């Protein structure tokens, strides 16, 4: 299954199956129509007790299906109506249909899809379009007309994990705590709007000095956040599809789900919605032991395979300025020169994730923190000064990256730090006004 389609299927599952009766039903039947294979389904359907069956589009002769997954949407209206009629026929009255269809360039007419569904006795519950990958999926969720949407029995819970580690597996490195670097970025860049993906207790979100938004499906705040800071209790992919102006930021910290496909999507979205001069910081790029880099967590110190994101950006985005920093416990990657118009990662998302997942590792050079820059000292000071100046001067992405590179190489004398970044704050103050004060746990 393509990486982007799998992400979409997982989103369908999280929003419509997780915590609901279908998840506890014994041997719930999942029929995949025109899907080619059920490769990847086990990742989307991790909980519960599901049986998977593959069916041909022309003869989806199974049923009643608790969940039907259809991998295609015909172009012609009469064929769409026929497809929906077939799918409706195989669906249990309390079942749900996930349609994940390649768009192949054309955007489907949602009103037409809803009308065809209605003729076949189905309600279009929700739909979205994905900009990732060559196929740029159209995703629709449908159920029998008038059937009530089952309510999740429990509020969403964090991903459970069992720790099986030795002290060696938990060893950490780094010469300065990563939150010291975040605090410095807030102080010296004075962002108009700070966005944090993955906040947990709020220990890093609390460092924001101005308007800020933190996104986490399972926030467990233990810190009193400043008035200008909002919390959005959602997974980042929901947030980036739904949350309008709150997505726009000029400083972002990516520390959510530690799997490369999620961290890459988070970076792509941060960049796409970035304000001019934006800087992104990615946590956990430097596992200290291979056990910490496992995709399935079994250590307290867990980086997952976010190290692959650093390698992806090195390989596919030479235009960006990338600065791996030797922070504790698991390294930070500072990224500057963000270009909201860049399509490379969006267009090639599926092949990039497939290739990256095949890279063996984490490589020795990453475990040994080779080529990593000290987060204190002249080199980093020069980069910070260059970023400050370039942002204040409204430099374009390529210019920001070039100036940061030159600064790191010692080619540019740093300008003195401005006494206050009030100008930049005022310039973007309308963003703060749009975000409003107070928290939103919606």
Instruction: Quote the least distance from Cβ 98 to ligand SAM, whole Å.
Output: 19
Cα distance between residue 383 and residue 185, in whole Å: 11
Instruction: Quote the least distance from Cβ 216 to ligand SAM, whole Å.
Output: 4
Pick the closer one to ligand SAM by CB: 256 or 277.
Answer: 256
Instruction: Quote the least distance from Cβ 97 to ligand SAM, whole Å.
Output: 24
The dihedrals phi and psi of 239, each to the nearest 5 degrees, come to: -60, -45
Cα distance between residue 198 and residue 251, in whole Å: 14
Pick the closer one to ligand SAM by CB: 65 or 235.
Answer: 235
Q: Which residues bind ligand SAM (CB under 6 A)?
A: 158, 197-201, 203-204, 215-218, 235-236, 255-257, 262
Instruction: Yes or no: say if 98 and 122 are a contact pair by the CB < 8 Å rule.
Output: no
Q: Quick one: which of 206, 252, 248, 245 has its CA closest to 229?
A: 206
Pick the closer one to ligand SAM by CB: 146 or 160.
Answer: 160
Pick the closer one to ligand SAM by CB: 190 or 281.
Answer: 281
232's CB contacts (< 8 A; 6+ apart) are 213, 214, 215, 216, 239, 243, 246, 440, 441, 442
Cα distance between residue 218 and residue 216, in whole Å: 5
In 3-state terms the chain splits into helix, strand, coil percentages (rounded to 5) of: 35, 20, 45
Instruction: Quote the least distance from Cβ 10 to ligand SAM, whole Å.
Output: 10
- Checking DSSP bridges between strand 65-70 and strand 28-33, what pairing results, if any? parallel
Q: Quick one: which of 150, 179, 354, 166 has its CA closest to 253?
A: 179
Instruction: Quote the least distance from Cβ 291 to ligand SAM, whole Å.
Output: 17
Instruction: Quote the least distance from Cβ 158 to ligand SAM, whole Å.
Output: 6
Cα distance between residue 115 and residue 111, in whole Å: 6
Q: Which residue is nearest to ligand SAM (CB)?
A: 198
| End-to-end C-alpha distance for the chain, whole angstroms | 32
Pick the closer one to ligand SAM by CB: 18 or 215.
Answer: 215
Instruction: Quote the least distance from Cβ 92 to ligand SAM, whole Å.
Output: 30
Pick the closer one to ligand SAM by CB: 208 or 336.
Answer: 208
426: tokens are 């005022």
Instruction: Quote the least distance from Cβ 113 to ligand SAM, whole Å.
Output: 27
- Checking DSSP bridges between strand 176-177 and strand 138-144, what pairing results, if any? unpaired
Q: Which residues pair with 54 in a beta bridge?
A: 32
Pick the closer one to ligand SAM by CB: 217 or 324.
Answer: 217
210: tokens are 């101005």
Pick the closer one to ligand SAM by CB: 257 or 278.
Answer: 257
């Amino acid at each position: 299954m393509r990486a982007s389609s799998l992400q979409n299927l997982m989103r369908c599952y999280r929003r419509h199956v997780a915590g609901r009766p279908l998840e506890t039903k014994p041997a719930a039947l999942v029929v995949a129509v025109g899907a080619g294979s059920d490769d990847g389904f086990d990742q989307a359907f991790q909980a519960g007790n599901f049986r998977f069956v593959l069916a041909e589009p022309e003869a989806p002769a199974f049923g009643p299906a608790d969940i039907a997954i259809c991998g295609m949407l015909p172009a012609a209206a009469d064929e769409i109506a026929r497809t929906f009629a077939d799918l409706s026929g195989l669906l249990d009255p309390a079942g749900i249909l996930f349609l994940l269809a390649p768009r192949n360039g054309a955007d489907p007419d949602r009103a037409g899809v809803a009308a065809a569904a209605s003729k076949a006795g189905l309600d279009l519950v929700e739909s979205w379009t994905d900009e990732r990958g060559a196929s740029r999926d159209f995703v629709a969720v449908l159920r029998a007309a008038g059937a009530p949407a089952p309510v999740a029995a429990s509020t969403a819970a964090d991903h459970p994990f069992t720790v099986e580690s030795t002290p060696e597996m938990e060893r950490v490195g780094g010469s300065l705590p990563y939150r010291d670097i975040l605090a410095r970025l807030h102080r010296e860049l004075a962002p108009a709007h700070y966005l944090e993906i993955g906040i947990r207790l709020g220990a890093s979100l609390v460092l924001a000095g101005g308007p800020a938004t933190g996104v986490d499906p399972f926030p467990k705040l233990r810190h009193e956040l400043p008035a200008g800071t909002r919390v959005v209790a959602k997974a980042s992919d929901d947030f980036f599809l739904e949350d309008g102006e709150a997505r726009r930021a000029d400083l972002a910290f990516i520390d959510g789900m530690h799997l490369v496909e999620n961290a890459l999507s988070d970076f792509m979205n941060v960049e796409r919605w970035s304000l001019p001069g934006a800087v992104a910081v990615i946590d956990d790029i430097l596992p200290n032991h291979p056990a910490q880099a496992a995709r399935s967590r079994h250590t307290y110190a867990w980086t997952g395979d976010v190290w692959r994101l650093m390698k992806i950006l090195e390989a596919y985005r030479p235009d960006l300025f990338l600065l791996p920093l030797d922070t504790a416990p698991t390294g930070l990657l500072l990224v500057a020169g963000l270009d909201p118009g860049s399509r490379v990662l969006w267009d090639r998302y599926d092949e990039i994730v497939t290739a990256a997942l095949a890279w063996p590792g984490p490589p020795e050079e990453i475990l040994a923190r080779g080529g990593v820059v000290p987060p204190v000292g002249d080199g980093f000071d020069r980069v910070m000064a260059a970023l400050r100046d370039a942002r204040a001067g409204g430099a374009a992405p390529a210019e920001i990256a070039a100036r940061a590179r030159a600064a790191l190489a010692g080619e540019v004398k740093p300008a003195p730090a401005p006494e206050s970044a009030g100008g930049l704050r005022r310039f973007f103050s309308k963003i703060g006004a749009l975000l409003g004060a107070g928290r939103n746990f919606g």
